[in-house]
A = this chain, B = another copy of it.
Amino acid sequence: MVQINDNYLKLPGSYLFSMIGQKVSTYAEANPDKKLIRLGIGDVTLPLVPAITSALEKAVVEMGQERTFRGYAPDLGYAFLRTAIAKHDFQDRGCDISADEVFVSDGAKCDSGNIQEIFSVDNKIAVCDPVYPVYVDTNVMAGRTGTYDVTSETWSDVIYMPCTKENNFAPELPKKTPDMIYLCFPNNPTGSTIHKAMLQTWVDYANQVGAIIIYDAAYEAYISEKDVPHSIYECEGAKTCAIELRSFSKNAGFTGVRLGATIVPKELERGGVSLHALWARRHGTKYNGAPYIIQRAGEAVYSEAGKAQLKEQIAYYMKNAKVIRDGLASAGYTVSGGINAPYIWMKTPEGMSSWAFFDYLLEEANVVGTPGSGFGPSGEGYFRLTAFGSYENTVAAIGRIKKM
C-alpha cells in the first residue's frame, strides 16, 4: 500500500495567498456593488513593454517556420540569455559571474522551492521572520523543519531571525548555527534592505561556519539608494558560500510570463562536491528548459530599448510606493519600506492583529492587503501593501484608508 509524504500533513492551513484569495472572493460575492482595490498579492499590473512584446512576436514567427523552429531548449538555458544575464546583472556591476554559472528557469518561486533538494534533509535552515512562505513550506515538505508549535506558530528545527522595528527589519546573525540561510534583499515582505557592509558580515559568517546563503534578489531593480547591493556577489567571498535567485517577474513584469535564473558559482562546493554540478544534474533531470520564446523575451529586457522602457515601468510603481508611504505616514501610521522595494510595511493601529486589520481594511475601505502574520510570527501586528496597482487605484486606496 502506497504511503503519502506525511510531511505535507504538517503544513498548517493553506498557502497564504490562497487564503487571501478565498476571503476576498467571499467578500466580493456578498458585496457585488463594492469596488475592491487589490494591493495584496505582489502581482504587477502594467502591460509588457514594447521591446518585450516585439521580441516575443519575432520568436513566435521563428517557431512557425521550419528553418528557425526550435525544439528542446538547452536544459540550463540558451547561451544568448545566460550571457546577457551574466553581463548585465553581474559583470557590469563588477561581479565575476560567468554565463555558465547562470541557470535559466521558469521563475524564482520554483527555484526557491527546488534549491533545497540538493541539500541533506538533516540541515538546519535559518529564515528571517517575517519571511516569504515558500522558503519555509518547501522545507516542511522535505521534512527539514521538525514539528510545528501552534501557539508560537514556529517549527522546532527552524532558526528564526526576527526582523522588527527594533533592528530596522534587518536580521542579526543567529545564535544557533544554521546550515542554510535564506536572505531576501530588498525584502519581501518588509520592503527593507541592508547596506553592503552588513551583507558582507553575512558572507563572512557563512564562509566561517560553512553555511550556504540562498540569496533572493527578486526585487533588486527597485533599489534607489546607493551602497545597497544589487547582488550578493558584490561582497567578497560570496562565490564560496552563496546561491543567488533572480527573477524577471518584478523587474520586467513577467509574473505571467515566467522567467527566472539561479546563480550557482562553479567554485561553490561542500565536502568536495560541486553544488554547481548538483544543480545542473537536478535541472537536467527534472526540468526541460524555459520556452524559447520566453527566453527571447528575457533577452530583450537587456536591450537598450528594453532597459529604458523598464526603467519607466519601475519608476511608475515606485511613484505608487511613495504615495502609499507618504499617505500612510501623514495619516499617522508607522510605515517602512517603499524606498528600495515595491512593498510598504505598516504597523497595524492600536494593537490590532494582522488578520483583524485585513478584515477591517477589506470591509471599511474595500482595500486588499496582506496580513503580516501570514509571513511569520514577527509579522504579527504588521501589514503589507504593494505598489503594483495603478496610480489611480493607489491614490484612491490611500484616500479611503485615510478616511477610515
Binding site for B on A (CB under 8 A): 1-6, 8-9, 11, 14-15, 18, 41, 43-48, 50, 52-53, 56-57, 60-61, 63-66, 68-73, 75, 106-107, 109-110, 113-114, 117-123, 133-134, 137-138, 141, 179-180, 209-212, 253, 255-258, 270-271, 273, 275, 278, 281-282, 284-294
Contact between chains at B53 and A71 (CB < 8 Å): no
Contact between chains at B3 and A179 (CB < 8 Å): yes
- Per the bound structure, the CA–CA distance linking A180 and B71 in Å amounts to 31
Residue in contact with A141 in the complex, picked from B5, B43, B282, CB distance below 8 Å: B282
Q: How far is the CB of A55 from chain B (nearest CB, A)?
A: 10
Q: Top 10 closest A-B pairs, CB basis? A: A1-B210, A113-B286, A3-B120, A53-B64, A43-B71, A2-B179, A47-B69, A71-B255, A109-B288, A70-B256
> Given A73-B256, A256-B63, A288-B258, is A270 in contact with B57 using a C-beta cutoff of 8 Å?
no
Residue in contact with A134 in the complex, picked from B1, B110, B286, B293, CB distance below 8 Å: B286
* 24 contacts across the A-B interface (CB closer than 8 A): A1-B211, A2-B119, A2-B212, A3-B271, A4-B119, A4-B120, A4-B271, A11-B281, A47-B64, A47-B66, A56-B63, A57-B57, A70-B256, A71-B253, A71-B255, A73-B256, A106-B291, A109-B287, A110-B286, A113-B285, A133-B285, A141-B282, A258-B288, A293-B293
Residue in contact with A3 in the complex, picked from B117, B123, B255, B288, CB distance below 8 Å: B123
Residue in contact with A8 in the complex, picked from B5, B122, B278, CB distance below 8 Å: B278
Q: How far is the CB of A255 from chain B (nearest CB, A)?
A: 4
Contacts of A258 in B (CB 8 A): 106, 288-291
Q: Apart from A5-B119, A45-B66, A56-B293, list 6 A-B contacts with CB within 8 A.
A: A1-B209, A2-B211, A8-B118, A15-B284, A47-B63, A256-B291
- Per the bound structure, the CA–CA distance linking A119 and B4 in Å amounts to 4
Residue in contact with A288 in the complex, picked from B50, B68, B71, B107, CB distance below 8 Å: B107
- Per the bound structure, the CA–CA distance linking A69 and B388 in Å amounts to 13
Contacts of A9 in B (CB 8 A): 273
Contacts of A134 in B (CB 8 A): 285-286
Q: How far is the CB of A129 from chain B (nearest CB, A)?
A: 18
Q: How far is the CB of A220 from chain B (nearest CB, A)?
A: 19
Contacts of A210 in B (CB 8 A): 1-2
A260 closest partner in B (C-beta): B288
Contacts of A209 in B (CB 8 A): 1
Contacts of A117 in B (CB 8 A): 5, 141
Contact between chains at B294 and A291 (CB < 8 Å): yes
- Per the bound structure, the CA–CA distance linking A308 and B53 in Å amounts to 29
